[in-house]
Amino acid sequence: MSSVYYDNLALGWRPEGAGNTLFKLITGITVAVSLVFAVIMSSIDVPKPDRETRAAVPERIANFILEKKEKPKPKVVKPKPKPKPKPKAKPKPKVKKIPAKKVKKKPLTKTQKKARKKAADTGLLALGNELADLMDTSDVSAMVGGKVKSSSASATKAVANNKALLMADASKGSGGVNSGEYTTQVGKTKLSQREITQVKQSLLSSGSLAKAQDIERKKRSRTGGIRAEEDITIVFDQNKSRLYSIYNRARRKNPSLKGKIVLAITIAPSGSVIKVKIVSSELNDPKLEKRILGRIKLFKFGAKKVEQVTVTYPIEFLPS
């Protein structure tokens, strides 16, 4: 029986013997080849290039070489001379304002108050109120048609008589429409203001006028010394264009301006407006309301033997 020792088994697993010899052989061959190559390369003579001669450029290539244009030299801008600073003006010494002493006004006596009230109703102040009415531009279309001069009193009387006449003859029938007369008068020109006035006067017959006067007397006895509401309405209708001219001026700044305003107006027996105040307003424009109150204070309702009265009157302003 053969025996196997431990040392022999251990040496068989180590690669030191065969591996080292192969490595050493390859390394020696590589070094020898490198030395031979180096000796051969060093023994070869390489000619040096002649740097004095230039390579000849063919003519076809030389034609493409263009002369470089010289860039224009930048112009030197001379600096402008600085303007001499103006001498500063010396500040003027401030002058202190001395506040004026407030003078206490003495309360007016009863005689002075009466004198002022009397002066406001007569003289230059009353004339100024009348001239203020002429300053406003009112509707003059009614004046263009004819040259009839009529006062406000006569116009009021004519309106009252016409209304009373209509109320007096309300129970009568119309009598129908005469178509023959209608067709003959359709082609005629428009009547002038004078002709319209003559036609209206011809309608007031003697019997109808007497009835109208009776109704007017009854109305006056029924009022008992108080100014009739119809008189107030007539005055407002006459001045409607002036109020609307003020409203239209305010509407240029505020196009959405509209609403109703209710006024409390105190009228004296002389026909002048003593006091005007706003009861309620939907306009919400203090400047417009102030101008309306100023215009209404200039209204003249005519002197009558009546008591002083306070009337509430509504006015509605709507865009036309």
- Tell me what pLDDT residue 23 has: 87
User: Tell me, what DSSP letter sits at residue 269?
Assistant: T
Pick the CATH number of 229-317 from 1.10.150, 3.30.160, 3.30.1150, 2.40.160: 3.30.1150
User: Tell me, what DSSP letter sits at residue 267?
Assistant: E
| Residue boundaries of the structural domains of the chain | 229-317
Contacts of residue 228, Cβ cutoff 8 Å, sequence gap at least 6: 219
Ranges of the chain with pLDDT below 50: 133-134, 136-197, 199-200, 202-207, 221-223
pTM of this structure: 0.34
Contacts of residue 293, Cβ cutoff 8 Å, sequence gap at least 6: 263, 276, 277, 278
Token pair of 256, please? 């959405």
Identify the residue whose tokens are 């009776």: 214
- Tell me what pLDDT residue 166 has: 46
- Tell me what pLDDT residue 274 has: 92
- Tell me what pLDDT residue 55 has: 67
- Tell me what pLDDT residue 26 has: 93
Distance CA 212, CA 139 (A): 31
Please calculate the CA angle 160-293-266 and round it to the nearest 5 degrees.
55
| Chain CA centroid to CA 277, Å | 29
Question: Are the C-beta atoms of 311 and 277 separated by less than 8 Å?
Answer: no
